[in-house]
């Protein structure tokens, strides 16, 4: 089984080679991201393996289909970069629904603590043997209200962490979890009552730019925003305006709306053309990490194992439990491991 592996990084290769070597799967690793110009690299392969900033729109899917590609294996949970509707009847699409929710939730809390306790500033100072505490005053998390948007696996894990700090937890989700001991409220109430707002929801038409000028206006003055989900949940330009007007107290961003051509690459010796991300990074109350929240040994192992299992199951059964199926409703996985003839 030959699979073209796009947007390869060294940590990807180590994880997948250790899992896939004995599984009769041959990965052809490419550093290039998948797009219309690079899709031809999948020639002779039966599948492609892609990540968050690869492009699998209708044109790319048609090109892959012409090349005889039968499956797209996402090595992540989100699939907003894949036109699942267009893939229907042509190419099967799989994802990794849960690799390590704790990795992402813990990173969200790490960003929050770093921001409000000025850890990043203190680190830089002490490296220069400056031990002054001026300007490093933070605030307690205990007793503060955190609003969690999206209570899937990651949102739940983050809620548990926040409870451990003694925080009051509010949540908003279109599909509330009755077993989760948090108080569900409307989005407007969450925005208006929370000192800290953390986004843990997928990107779709309903959530695109859910944090815009109107949402920011409803927030408490000095609110802290955390985003470890998808960049386009936040209108970056309007977030910048909210920071400049002092409405937003701080922003902790592991994702960015236009990250595809920036994140995962080294631009330290170059000028970045994106003025918005450059201005955000220049703000003293903004912390940006480059889609790093997933990056733990445990998560990488789980991603590799689940992706390989997805590919094996497809070649054995024609589908797998992690297939994304447009026909089965809302582009979510079938769940029951339905035979492909039900979907195709």
From the list 92, 107, 200, 291, the catalytic residue is 291
C-alpha–C-alpha distance, residues 281 and 295, integer Å: 21
For the question of residue 333 being annotated catalytic, the response is no
Catalytic residue selected from 46, 238, 257, 259: 259
Is residue 182 within 8 A of residue 210, CB to CB? The reply is no
User: Going by DSSP bridges, is the β-strand pair 92-94/145-149 parallel, antiparallel, or unpaired?
Assistant: unpaired
Helix then strand then coil, % of the chain, to nearest 5: 40, 15, 45
What's the CATH number for 2-99+297-343? 3.40.50.720
Asked if the 101-288 domain carries CATH number 3.40.50.720, the reply is yes
User: What is the pLDDT, as a whole number, of residue 22?
Assistant: 53
What is the tens place of the pLDDT at every residue in 178-224? 899 999 999 999 999 999 999 999 999 999 999 999 999 999 999 99
Give yes or no: 259 in active site: yes
The pLDDT, as a whole number, for residue 309 is 93
pTM of the model: 0.88
What confidence score (pLDDT) does residue 333 get? 42
Catalytic residue among 107, 230, 257, 305: 230
> How many angstroms separate the CA atoms of 74 and 314, rounded?
13
What is the sign of the dihedral through the CA atoms of 6, 9, 11 and 14?
positive
DSSP characters over 121-142: HHHHHHHTT----TT------T
Within 8 A by CB and 6+ apart from 49, the residues are 3, 4, 5, 6, 16, 27, 73, 74, 75, 307
Asked if residues 4 and 46 have their Cβ atoms less than 8 Å apart, the reply is: no
Parallel, antiparallel or unpaired: strands 92-94 and 323-325: antiparallel
pLDDT value for 318 = 84
φ/ψ (deg, to 5) at 14: -60, -45
219-255 burial, b at 16+ Cβ within 10 Å, e below that, comes to bbeebbbbbbbbbbbbbbebbbebbeeebbbbbbbbb
The list of the chain residues with pLDDT below 70 reads 20-23, 326-344
pLDDT at residue 99, as a whole number: 85
Each domain of the chain, given as residue ranges in start order, spans: 2-99+297-343, 101-288
Are the folds of 2-99+297-343 and 101-288 the same?
A: yes
Q: Report the pLDDT value the prediction gives residue 260, as an integer from 0 to 100.
A: 87
pLDDT at 24: 80
Cα–Cα distance for residue pair 18/23, rounded to 1 Å: 10
For residue 276, the tally of other CB atoms under 10 A from its CB is 14
In contact, 276 and 240? CB cutoff 8 Å: yes
């Amino acid at each position: 089984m030959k699979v073209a592996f796009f947007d390869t990084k060294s940590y990807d290769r180590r994880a997948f080679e250790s899992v896939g070597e004995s599984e009769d799967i041959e990965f052809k690793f490419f550093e290039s991201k998948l797009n219309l110009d690079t899709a031809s690299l999948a020639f002779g392969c039966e599948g492609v393996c892609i990540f968050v900033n690869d492009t699998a729109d209708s044109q790319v899917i048609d090109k892959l289909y012409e090349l005889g590609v039968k499956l797209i294996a996402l090595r992540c949970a989100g699939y907003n970069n894949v036109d699942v509707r267009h893939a229907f009847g042509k190419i099967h699409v799989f994802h990794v629904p849960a690799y390590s929710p704790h990795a992402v939730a813990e990173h969200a809390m790490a960003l929050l603590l770093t921001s409000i306790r000025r850890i990043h500033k203190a680190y830089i100072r002490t490296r220069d043997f400056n031990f002054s505490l001026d300007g490093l005053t933070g605030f307690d998390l205990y007793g503060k209200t955190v609003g969690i948007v999206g209570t899937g696996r990651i949102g739940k894990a983050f809620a548990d962490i926040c409870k451990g700090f003694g925080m009051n937890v509010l949540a908003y989700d279109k599909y509330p979890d009755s077993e989760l001991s948090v108080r569900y409220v409307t989005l407007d109430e969450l925005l208006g009552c929370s000192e800290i707002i953390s986004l843990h929801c997928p990107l779709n038409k309903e959530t695109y730019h859910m944090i815009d000028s109107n949402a920011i206006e409803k927030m408490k003055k000095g609110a802290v925003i955390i985003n470890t989900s998808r960049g386009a949940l936040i209108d970056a330009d309007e977030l910048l305006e909210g920071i400049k007007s002092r409405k937003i107290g701080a922003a902790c961003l592991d994702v960015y709306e236009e990250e595809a051509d920036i994140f995962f690459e080294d631009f330290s010796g170059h000028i970045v053309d994106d003025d918005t991300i450059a201005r955000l990074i220049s703000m003293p109350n903004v912390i940006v990490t480059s889609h790093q929240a997933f990056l733990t040994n445990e998560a990488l192992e789980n991603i590799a194992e689940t992706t390989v299992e997805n590919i094996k199951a497809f070649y054995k059964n024609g589908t797998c439990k992690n297939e994304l199926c447009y026909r089965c409703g809302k582009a979510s996985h079938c769940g029951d491991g339905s035979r492909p003839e039900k979907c195709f």
